[in-house]
Structure 1
């Protein structure tokens, strides 16, 4: 009796076809999907995890609101009840300053929100679905084949597998960095390795304590200029509280991560005062190390990298979500021109403009850790117009080349300002 011969066609996974495949339903993926649906494109968005799920990056910048509005998701976000945000406050010992993002050089939004990302990301993903995106949770990409007709192999939650063929793939997988890993695109970041310990606390900060819940609070460690804390208030009476430092700094402290975080917070008098009545670890303490990332290229044959899948700098100025949204807007514009029959130069029309804003944020991040930017913001005699220019960049307007501190590719203007404030 002859053995049964397996039909090679029947052995192939089922194949599905879409115009645009978006991998990852975080902010970059959802905004890109919604923008493309508004333009009449067929979009399938798959997400490995189930929503809602925790993510870091909870303080938005006003520039983000422009992209949320353009994607048709503004009402979804406004009605979600997130904490209003109008600026950023800074403290280093007895030195304090605050920026109101409504008082800025660049035109555009001056307010935004501070969000629990589990809820925020779910709001955006469901909004993209409302706009026409086909949304699937629990689907994991196993392999990717770039090219003129790219495709991916996917595993469903039940373990079965299928293939998706697309005209184009947008990788919005965030810190999972799916395509950079699978296609060996990763490139070392030139930032020092840093880490963060963080959690949510029910803060019980009383009214009149000198804490503005409409602003993120960024505190420099009393003794270490390159160690800083974030305090991000939410609308439910909780705060996200974290500390960022190089790994060797955390090794000085004994105990588990909660004990380390509490000990480091106790070293700052103002934070100790604010957190005197706090209920700690409303959400579990988490850590992240070596988060800065880069890639050799932000695009390739049949794909582009969005947000953290391409590059992540540092959390100090909350630029991550804004960069993610900007990448979504640029990619959706490029794809709209492609479907209109135009030739698209992804390097010139996607990568170069995206990296220009990232470079602006990078100059500010580097100056922060070196201490020069801190001298600028705490200087007692600030010129109002220069302050508004800085406020614009802190508000996310890192692509406004009318701002002299954006249109400063060499960083000379920033260095001169640092020198003046150091004199």
Structure 2
């Protein structure tokens, strides 16, 4: 071993979608990539409903054919239900050019396919290993790795990308965490054999339900292929925990309270233990530092309501990978202007939509009988993942435009009552 030569060019913490996309892209660009993952694949994860914008990022990373060959459930939009009101948003009917369809995926299979595709491009994978320490350095950042057998070693790189998701490794080790500016909520979820026998049910759309008495509580039903589905509920921690003594008791009690979900899932059989995630929102003071950058959930996570997590993760990898390659080849990179600022612009668009959902203004728009058609197409574009399209006024002035449109649609807190 030559101590003057780093162990790899790029070390990537985490083998989820952001890590896999960055690893695939950088390996194709000729960089020596080493991916460190603390778990073993396949492993369960939520965040199972993709957005159409993510398809372009998968394509750019050389991962699109892998996804298309997997036989996942196609997705073309979202359906919403509240009391007797139902409505749909078709992602193909949008203002922004680009993909209008995508997939709904079981993440255990999806993530494994992506990371092994990255391996086929030349990335080295290491599972069952935890990053326990980090030395930031603009030229030779170093990680301390602890394997599951008790071994510890140092790994040097020329650049480090943190794609550790909810583990948020560098955010913790570099003291980057900050208040996420979001109410503490929780998600309760499981997979089912859904048994849905309603011919009119559209499996190509995620179904989002609003609690009939408390619109701060909402439900998801994500149909998968072969009659399976992901079913979950999100809301205020105190409100949800009051529904029962165990995650399963809470999950069942809440699903029984939403008429559409109760009807659709009357024949459902649970396939896995009910899980919970509490206080999932996260934010950081910065997304880059000397010799490193944070991707996806390792930096910012908002809320699952519009399935933005994987799109943000893939967008961050799409931005970061060519910048890392350029820097390692001796070029100049302004990580603030070329990575952090553009990435955060789309995150803030999604944040405005999430906040408008919980405030009731976006629910007013969604459930309005006849919102102005062009406005609906602008909103459809954002919900399809095109949160970086600055030709869209609901991207450039999200909060103001949403508030104005809600007023046009007669928002008087009627959805929240």
Instruction: Identify whether the pair has TM-score above 0.5, normalized to the shorter chain.
Output: yes
Q: Secondary structure at the match of 2:134?
A: strand
Return 338-347 or 61-70, whichever deviates more: 338-347
Q: Secondary structure at the match of 1:80?
A: coil
1:16–1:162 contact (8 Å) kept in structure 2: no
Superposition TM-score, scaled by structure 2 size? 0.95
1:101–1:395 contact (8 Å) kept in structure 2: yes
1:258-311 Cα shifts (integer Å, max 9, x gaps): 12111111111111110111112x011000000000001101001000000000
1:198–1:242 contact (8 Å) kept in structure 2: yes
Q: Which residue of 2 aligns with 1:162?
A: 153
Q: Secondary structure at the match of 2:9?
A: strand
Whether 1:186 and 2:177 are equivalent positions in the alignment is yes
What is the aligned counterpart of 1:415 among 403, 407, 413? 403
> How far apart in 2 are the matches of 1:251 and 1:228?
14
2:244–2:253 contact (8 Å) kept in structure 1: no
1:64–1:322 contact (8 Å) kept in structure 2: yes
Q: Which residue of 2 aligns with 1:350?
A: 339
Tell me how many residue pairs correspond in the alignment.
407
1:333-364 Cα shifts (integer Å, max 9, x gaps): 21132134321111111100000000000010
2:22–2:61 contact (8 Å) kept in structure 1: yes
> How far apart in 2 are the matches of 1:123 and 1:353?
29
Whether 1:378 and 2:404 are equivalent positions in the alignment is no
Q: Secondary structure at the match of 2:112?
A: helix
> How far apart in 1 are the matches of 2:363 and 2:151?
54
Q: Which residue of 1 aligns with 2:353?
A: 364
Q: Secondary structure at the match of 1:153?
A: strand
> How far apart in 2 are the matches of 1:251 and 1:397?
35
Structure 1: gaps spanning 5 or more residues:
1-12
Q: Which residue of 1 aligns with 2:281?
A: 292
1:109-159 Cα shifts (integer Å, max 9, x gaps): 111110111110001000100111111111211211001210011122332
Whether 1:228 and 2:218 are equivalent positions in the alignment is yes
> How far apart in 2 are the matches of 1:365 and 1:273?
27
> How far apart in 1 are the matches of 2:359 and 2:70?
38
Q: Which residue of 2 aligns with 1:256?
A: 246
Whether 1:211 and 2:201 are equivalent positions in the alignment is yes
Whether 1:114 and 2:104 are equivalent positions in the alignment is yes
> How far apart in 1 are the matches of 2:54 and 2:389?
14
> How far apart in 2 are the matches of 1:247 and 1:168?
38
User: How far 1:408 moved relative to its partner?
Assistant: 1.2
Q: Which residue of 2 aligns with 1:326?
A: 315
Q: What are the within-5 Å matches in structure 2 for residues 15-26 of structure 1?
A: 17-26=7-16
1:228–1:244 contact (8 Å) kept in structure 2: yes
> How far apart in 1 are the matches of 2:245 and 2:136?
47
Whether 1:196 and 2:184 are equivalent positions in the alignment is no
Superposition TM-score, scaled by structure 1 size? 0.94
Q: What are the within-5 Å matches in structure 2 for residues 66-77 of structure 1?
A: 66-77=56-67
Whether 1:30 and 2:20 are equivalent positions in the alignment is yes
> How far apart in 2 are the matches of 1:158 and 1:254?
39
How large is the RMSD of aligned CA atoms in angstroms?
Answer: 1.3
Structure 2: gaps spanning 5 or more residues:
412-417
Q: Secondary structure at the match of 1:200?
A: strand
Q: Secondary structure at the match of 1:211?
A: coil
1:24–1:46 contact (8 Å) kept in structure 2: yes
User: How far 1:27 moved relative to its partner?
Assistant: 0.5
- The change in CA–CA distance for 1:251 and 1:365 in structure 2 (over 3 A counts) is same
> How far apart in 2 are the matches of 1:147 and 1:168?
9
User: How far 1:221 moved relative to its partner?
Assistant: 0.3
> How far apart in 2 are the matches of 1:217 and 1:88?
6
2:171–2:284 contact (8 Å) kept in structure 1: yes
Q: Which residue of 2 aligns with 1:132?
A: 122
Deviating beyond 6 angstroms after TM superposition, the runs of 4 or more aligned structure 1 residues are: none
> How far apart in 1 are the matches of 2:239 and 2:276?
14
Q: Secondary structure at the match of 1:18?
A: coil
User: How far 1:16 moved relative to its partner?
Assistant: 6.1
User: How far 1:238 moved relative to its partner?
Assistant: 1.1
